[in-house]
Amino acid sequence: MFIDSHCHLDRLSDKTHGGDLSQTLAAAREANVSQFLAVAVNLDDMPRLAGIAREHDDVVISAGLHPLHTPAVEPDVDAIKEAAERFEVVAIGETGLDYHYAESVPVAVQQERFKRHLIAATELELPVIVHTREAQADTLALLRAHTLPEIGGVLHCFTEDLAMAREAVRLGFYISLSGIITFASAALLRELARVIPLDRLLIETDSPYLAPVPHRGKPNEPAFVVEVAECIARERGISVDEVAMQTSANFYRLFRGAAPAASAEVRRSLSDAGLI
260 pLDDT higher than 60:
no
Mean predicted confidence (pLDDT) in 180-194: 97
Query: What pLDDT does residue 136 have?
Result: 98
Predicted local confidence at residue 121, as pLDDT: 98
Range of the domain at 212: 2-272
275 has a pLDDT exceeding 90: no
Query: What pLDDT is recorded for position 13?
Result: 60
Q: pTM of the prediction?
A: 0.94
Q: What is the pLDDT of residue 102?
A: 86
Instruction: Write down the pLDDT at residue 272.
Output: 72
Tens of pLDDT, residues 77-118: 999 999 999 999 999 999 999 999 888 999 999 999 999 999
pLDDT on residue 263: 57
- Cβ–Cβ contacts within 10 Å for residue 148, how many? 11
For residue 262, name the pLDDT band (cuts at 50, 70, 90). low
- Give CA separation, 254 vs 24, 86, 146, 173, in Å: 26, 21, 17, 9
Q: How confident is the model at residue 259 (pLDDT cuts 50, 70, 90)?
A: confident
pLDDT score recorded for residue 273? 67
Question: What CATH code is carried by the domain that includes residue 72?
Answer: 3.20.20.140
Work out the percent of the chain whose per-residue pLDDT is above 90. Answer: 88
Check whether 206 has a pLDDT greater than 90.
yes
State the chain's mean pLDDT as an integer.
94
Taking residues 121-129, report their average pLDDT. Answer: 98
pLDDT value at 245 more than 90 = yes
Three-class SS of 65-110:
CCCCCCCCCCCCHHHHHHHHHHCCCCEEEEEEEEHHHCCCCCHHHH
Task: State mean pLDDT over 129-154.
Answer: 98
Using CA atoms, how far apart are residues 173 and 137, in angstroms rounded to an integer?
16
